[in-house]
Amino acid sequence: MNAKPEPTASDVAAWWGTAVSRMEPNVIELRGHPVQDLIGTTSLTEMIWLMLRGDRPTAGQARLLEAALVAAVDHGPHAPSIAIARMAATCGVGLNNAVATGVNVLGDNHGGAGEQCLALLDDICGRAAVTGSVESAAAEVLAAFRAHTPYVPGFGHRFHQRDPRRDPLLSLVDRAVADGVVAGRHLAAALAVEQSLRTRDGRSVPMNIDGATAVIYGELGFPPPLARGLFVLSRSVGILAHAWEETQQGRRNKGPIPPGILPAYLSQ
Protein backbone atom coordinates (compact mmCIF):
# COMPACT_ATOMS: atom_id res chain seq x y z
CA MET A 1 0.00 0.00 0.00
CA ASN A 2 3.00 2.26 0.58
CA ALA A 3 3.89 2.66 -3.04
CA LYS A 4 0.42 3.80 -4.03
CA PRO A 5 -0.08 7.54 -4.37
CA GLU A 6 -2.49 9.19 -1.93
CA PRO A 7 -5.96 9.37 -3.46
CA THR A 8 -7.13 12.78 -4.58
CA ALA A 9 -10.53 14.45 -4.46
CA SER A 10 -11.20 13.24 -7.96
CA ASP A 11 -10.58 9.64 -6.90
CA VAL A 12 -13.14 10.24 -4.18
CA ALA A 13 -15.57 11.66 -6.73
CA ALA A 14 -14.98 8.64 -8.95
CA TRP A 15 -15.66 6.27 -6.03
CA TRP A 16 -19.24 7.55 -6.12
CA GLY A 17 -19.50 7.88 -9.87
CA THR A 18 -22.96 7.33 -11.30
CA ALA A 19 -24.80 7.57 -14.58
CA VAL A 20 -28.17 7.74 -12.84
CA SER A 21 -28.12 11.36 -11.83
CA ARG A 22 -26.01 14.48 -11.99
CA MET A 23 -26.25 17.04 -9.20
CA GLU A 24 -24.69 20.47 -9.25
CA PRO A 25 -25.86 23.58 -7.52
CA ASN A 26 -29.23 24.44 -9.10
CA VAL A 27 -28.95 21.49 -11.48
CA ILE A 28 -30.63 18.10 -11.18
CA GLU A 29 -30.38 15.80 -14.15
CA LEU A 30 -31.88 12.34 -14.06
CA ARG A 31 -30.51 10.02 -16.72
CA GLY A 32 -29.44 13.09 -18.63
CA HIS A 33 -32.81 14.88 -18.43
CA PRO A 34 -33.14 18.10 -16.45
CA VAL A 35 -35.68 17.31 -13.75
CA GLN A 36 -37.80 20.30 -14.74
CA ASP A 37 -38.38 18.67 -18.14
CA LEU A 38 -39.64 15.50 -16.50
CA ILE A 39 -42.06 17.02 -14.00
CA GLY A 40 -45.54 17.12 -15.46
CA THR A 41 -44.57 15.30 -18.64
CA THR A 42 -43.57 11.89 -17.39
CA SER A 43 -45.66 9.33 -15.56
CA LEU A 44 -44.36 7.60 -12.45
CA THR A 45 -44.17 4.35 -14.35
CA GLU A 46 -42.17 5.95 -17.17
CA MET A 47 -39.90 7.42 -14.52
CA ILE A 48 -39.28 3.99 -13.03
CA TRP A 49 -38.28 2.71 -16.47
CA LEU A 50 -36.10 5.73 -17.18
CA MET A 51 -34.27 5.56 -13.87
CA LEU A 52 -33.60 1.83 -14.12
CA ARG A 53 -32.67 1.66 -17.79
CA GLY A 54 -31.64 5.10 -18.96
CA ASP A 55 -34.05 5.36 -21.86
CA ARG A 56 -37.76 6.05 -22.06
CA PRO A 57 -40.40 3.41 -22.69
CA THR A 58 -42.85 3.55 -25.55
CA ALA A 59 -46.50 4.00 -24.59
CA GLY A 60 -47.12 0.29 -25.11
CA GLN A 61 -44.17 -0.72 -22.95
CA ALA A 62 -45.22 1.67 -20.20
CA ARG A 63 -48.74 0.25 -20.28
CA LEU A 64 -47.49 -3.28 -19.67
CA LEU A 65 -45.10 -2.22 -16.94
CA GLU A 66 -47.83 -0.25 -15.23
CA ALA A 67 -50.22 -3.19 -15.24
CA ALA A 68 -47.61 -5.40 -13.58
CA LEU A 69 -46.85 -2.78 -10.95
CA VAL A 70 -50.52 -2.21 -10.18
CA ALA A 71 -51.33 -5.92 -9.94
CA ALA A 72 -48.96 -6.73 -7.09
CA VAL A 73 -49.50 -3.87 -4.66
CA ASP A 74 -51.13 -5.90 -1.92
CA HIS A 75 -52.09 -9.35 -0.76
CA GLY A 76 -53.46 -8.57 2.68
CA PRO A 77 -52.11 -9.04 6.21
CA HIS A 78 -51.43 -12.75 5.77
CA ALA A 79 -48.44 -11.69 3.74
CA PRO A 80 -45.57 -11.29 6.22
CA SER A 81 -44.45 -8.01 4.61
CA ILE A 82 -47.84 -6.45 5.25
CA ALA A 83 -48.30 -7.84 8.76
CA ILE A 84 -44.80 -6.78 9.75
CA ALA A 85 -45.27 -3.24 8.47
CA ARG A 86 -48.55 -2.94 10.37
CA MET A 87 -46.96 -4.14 13.59
CA ALA A 88 -43.96 -1.85 13.06
CA ALA A 89 -46.29 1.11 12.67
CA THR A 90 -47.54 0.60 16.22
CA CYS A 91 -44.09 0.59 17.80
CA GLY A 92 -43.33 4.29 17.70
CA VAL A 93 -41.15 4.43 14.60
CA GLY A 94 -41.54 6.66 11.53
CA LEU A 95 -43.69 5.66 8.58
CA ASN A 96 -40.45 5.32 6.60
CA ASN A 97 -39.22 2.76 9.13
CA ALA A 98 -42.51 0.86 8.99
CA VAL A 99 -42.32 0.65 5.20
CA ALA A 100 -38.66 -0.35 5.29
CA THR A 101 -39.38 -3.07 7.82
CA GLY A 102 -41.97 -4.57 5.50
CA VAL A 103 -39.87 -4.21 2.34
CA ASN A 104 -36.94 -5.83 4.09
CA VAL A 105 -38.67 -9.21 4.22
CA LEU A 106 -39.45 -9.42 0.50
CA GLY A 107 -36.74 -12.07 0.38
CA ASP A 108 -36.13 -15.19 -1.65
CA ASN A 109 -39.32 -16.89 -0.42
CA HIS A 110 -41.62 -13.91 -0.23
CA GLY A 111 -40.61 -11.51 -3.00
CA GLY A 112 -38.13 -13.61 -4.90
CA ALA A 113 -40.43 -15.86 -6.91
CA GLY A 114 -40.71 -13.33 -9.71
CA GLU A 115 -36.94 -13.14 -10.02
CA GLN A 116 -36.61 -16.92 -9.95
CA CYS A 117 -39.40 -17.34 -12.47
CA LEU A 118 -37.87 -14.81 -14.83
CA ALA A 119 -34.52 -16.59 -14.66
CA LEU A 120 -36.31 -19.82 -15.53
CA LEU A 121 -38.17 -18.18 -18.43
CA ASP A 122 -34.96 -16.56 -19.70
CA ASP A 123 -33.35 -19.98 -19.65
CA ILE A 124 -36.20 -21.53 -21.62
CA CYS A 125 -36.18 -18.67 -24.14
CA GLY A 126 -32.43 -19.04 -24.59
CA ARG A 127 -32.70 -22.76 -25.28
CA ALA A 128 -35.75 -22.40 -27.50
CA ALA A 129 -33.87 -19.84 -29.60
CA VAL A 130 -31.35 -22.57 -30.34
CA THR A 131 -33.56 -25.59 -30.76
CA GLY A 132 -36.67 -23.97 -32.09
CA SER A 133 -38.96 -25.78 -29.66
CA VAL A 134 -40.23 -23.95 -26.63
CA GLU A 135 -41.97 -27.09 -25.41
CA SER A 136 -38.84 -29.18 -25.29
CA ALA A 137 -36.87 -26.27 -23.82
CA ALA A 138 -39.48 -25.93 -21.10
CA ALA A 139 -39.38 -29.65 -20.40
CA GLU A 140 -35.58 -29.64 -20.10
CA VAL A 141 -35.47 -26.64 -17.80
CA LEU A 142 -38.30 -27.90 -15.64
CA ALA A 143 -36.71 -31.29 -15.22
CA ALA A 144 -33.47 -29.72 -14.04
CA PHE A 145 -35.36 -27.38 -11.76
CA ARG A 146 -37.58 -29.98 -10.17
CA ALA A 147 -34.64 -32.17 -9.33
CA HIS A 148 -33.91 -29.67 -6.57
CA THR A 149 -37.30 -28.49 -5.37
CA PRO A 150 -41.01 -29.30 -5.68
CA TYR A 151 -41.87 -25.64 -6.19
CA VAL A 152 -41.75 -24.03 -9.58
CA PRO A 153 -41.56 -20.30 -8.91
CA GLY A 154 -44.38 -18.37 -10.51
CA PHE A 155 -46.81 -21.27 -10.72
CA GLY A 156 -49.42 -22.39 -8.22
CA HIS A 157 -50.59 -20.55 -5.14
CA ARG A 158 -51.12 -21.88 -1.65
CA PHE A 159 -54.19 -19.72 -1.23
CA HIS A 160 -55.77 -19.29 -4.66
CA GLN A 161 -56.58 -22.25 -6.92
CA ARG A 162 -56.54 -19.72 -9.73
CA ASP A 163 -54.85 -16.38 -9.09
CA PRO A 164 -57.31 -13.70 -10.26
CA ARG A 165 -54.42 -11.56 -11.51
CA ARG A 166 -53.26 -14.11 -14.07
CA ASP A 167 -55.84 -13.63 -16.79
CA PRO A 168 -55.95 -9.83 -17.01
CA LEU A 169 -52.16 -9.63 -17.06
CA LEU A 170 -51.74 -12.29 -19.70
CA SER A 171 -54.43 -10.82 -21.90
CA LEU A 172 -52.57 -7.52 -21.86
CA VAL A 173 -49.45 -9.36 -22.96
CA ASP A 174 -51.43 -11.08 -25.69
CA ARG A 175 -52.60 -7.75 -27.01
CA ALA A 176 -49.09 -6.29 -26.79
CA VAL A 177 -47.79 -9.21 -28.85
CA ALA A 178 -50.52 -8.60 -31.40
CA ASP A 179 -49.59 -4.93 -31.51
CA GLY A 180 -45.91 -5.65 -31.97
CA VAL A 181 -44.99 -4.09 -28.63
CA VAL A 182 -43.29 -7.24 -27.39
CA ALA A 183 -42.15 -10.49 -29.03
CA GLY A 184 -44.13 -12.99 -26.99
CA ARG A 185 -41.27 -15.35 -26.27
CA HIS A 186 -41.55 -15.20 -22.48
CA LEU A 187 -45.28 -15.62 -22.72
CA ALA A 188 -44.83 -18.72 -24.84
CA ALA A 189 -42.26 -20.08 -22.41
CA ALA A 190 -44.54 -19.53 -19.43
CA LEU A 191 -47.52 -21.10 -21.16
CA ALA A 192 -45.38 -24.11 -22.05
CA VAL A 193 -44.46 -24.50 -18.40
CA GLU A 194 -48.05 -24.09 -17.29
CA GLN A 195 -49.16 -26.66 -19.81
CA SER A 196 -46.80 -29.27 -18.45
CA LEU A 197 -47.49 -28.76 -14.75
CA ARG A 198 -50.02 -30.90 -12.94
CA THR A 199 -50.44 -31.68 -9.26
CA ARG A 200 -50.23 -35.30 -8.15
CA ASP A 201 -53.98 -35.57 -8.26
CA GLY A 202 -54.15 -34.15 -11.73
CA ARG A 203 -55.16 -30.56 -11.13
CA SER A 204 -53.57 -27.79 -13.14
CA VAL A 205 -51.06 -25.42 -11.54
CA PRO A 206 -51.80 -22.08 -13.16
CA MET A 207 -49.46 -19.15 -13.31
CA ASN A 208 -49.63 -16.87 -10.29
CA ILE A 209 -48.87 -13.16 -9.91
CA ASP A 210 -45.13 -13.80 -9.83
CA GLY A 211 -45.31 -15.81 -13.03
CA ALA A 212 -47.53 -13.37 -14.87
CA THR A 213 -45.41 -10.37 -13.89
CA ALA A 214 -42.23 -12.29 -14.73
CA VAL A 215 -43.66 -12.74 -18.22
CA ILE A 216 -44.16 -9.01 -18.52
CA TYR A 217 -40.77 -8.08 -17.09
CA GLY A 218 -39.11 -10.60 -19.37
CA GLU A 219 -40.98 -9.42 -22.45
CA LEU A 220 -39.86 -5.88 -21.61
CA GLY A 221 -36.24 -6.93 -21.28
CA PHE A 222 -35.69 -6.53 -17.56
CA PRO A 223 -33.05 -8.82 -16.04
CA PRO A 224 -34.24 -11.20 -13.28
CA PRO A 225 -33.02 -9.21 -10.24
CA LEU A 226 -35.19 -6.30 -11.35
CA ALA A 227 -38.25 -8.53 -11.22
CA ARG A 228 -37.70 -8.45 -7.49
CA GLY A 229 -36.79 -4.78 -7.56
CA LEU A 230 -39.99 -3.86 -9.39
CA PHE A 231 -42.05 -6.01 -7.06
CA VAL A 232 -40.52 -4.07 -4.17
CA LEU A 233 -41.75 -0.79 -5.67
CA SER A 234 -45.19 -2.26 -6.26
CA ARG A 235 -45.65 -3.86 -2.88
CA SER A 236 -44.38 -0.72 -1.13
CA VAL A 237 -47.71 0.84 -2.06
CA GLY A 238 -49.69 -1.78 -0.16
CA ILE A 239 -47.22 -1.79 2.70
CA LEU A 240 -47.62 1.96 3.10
CA ALA A 241 -51.42 1.78 2.87
CA HIS A 242 -51.58 -0.91 5.56
CA ALA A 243 -49.06 0.78 7.84
CA TRP A 244 -51.02 3.99 7.59
CA GLU A 245 -54.36 2.30 8.29
CA GLU A 246 -52.85 0.60 11.32
CA THR A 247 -51.53 3.94 12.58
CA GLN A 248 -55.03 5.30 12.46
CA GLN A 249 -56.48 2.31 14.32
CA GLY A 250 -54.37 3.45 17.26
CA ARG A 251 -52.92 0.28 18.76
CA ARG A 252 -49.57 0.43 20.54
CA ASN A 253 -47.07 -2.41 20.25
CA LYS A 254 -49.40 -4.70 18.38
CA GLY A 255 -48.43 -8.33 18.72
CA PRO A 256 -49.31 -10.95 16.12
CA ILE A 257 -52.29 -12.34 18.04
CA PRO A 258 -54.72 -10.88 20.56
CA PRO A 259 -53.19 -10.44 24.03
CA GLY A 260 -55.57 -12.98 25.51
CA ILE A 261 -53.95 -15.87 23.64
CA LEU A 262 -50.55 -16.93 24.95
CA PRO A 263 -48.08 -18.58 22.59
CA ALA A 264 -47.79 -22.28 23.31
CA TYR A 265 -44.75 -23.31 25.29
CA LEU A 266 -42.91 -26.16 23.61
CA SER A 267 -40.70 -28.37 25.68
CA GLN A 268 -37.26 -28.49 24.14
Binding to a second copy in span 36-65, by CB under 8 A: 36, 38-40, 42-45, 47-48, 51-52, 54, 63
CB of 19 to a second copy, least distance (A): 4
Judged on CB neighbours under 10 Å (0-12, 13-18, 19+), 138 is buried
**Residue 13 interacts with a second copy (CB under 8 A): yes or no:** yes
Least gap, CB of 139 to a second copy (angstroms): 27
Q: How far apart are CA 2 and CA 11, in angstroms?
A: 17
End-to-end CA distance of the chain: 53
By CB under 8 A, name the one of 130, 202, 250, 252 that touches a second copy.
252
**Dist. CA 181–CA 175, nearest whole Å:** 9
- Distance in angstroms (rounded) separating the CA atoms of residues 65 and 46: 9
CB neighbour class for 183 (10 Å; exposed up to 12, middle 13-18, buried from 19): middle
Q: Binding residue for a second copy (CB under 8 A) from 132, 150, 180, 260?
A: 260
Interaction pattern, residues 193-212, with a second copy; x per rule: CB under 8 A: --------------------
Q: Determine contact, residues 88/255, Cβ cutoff 8 Å.
A: no
Closer by beta carbon to a second copy, 202 or else 263: 263
Closer of 130 and 148 to a second copy (Cβ): 148
Report the site for a second copy in 157-196 (rule: CB under 8 A): 158-165, 167-169, 172
Least distance from a second copy to the Cβ atom of residue 125, Å:
21
* Total number of residues that touch a second copy (CB under 8 A): 130
State the DSSP code for 19.
Answer: S
Residues 72-131 that bind a second copy (CB under 8 A): 73-81, 83-84, 86-88, 90-97, 99-101, 103-112
Torsional class of 252: left (φ above 0), alpha (ψ -120 to 50), beta (otherwise): beta
- In the complex, minimum distance from the CB of residue 195 to a second copy, in angstroms, rounded to a whole number: 21
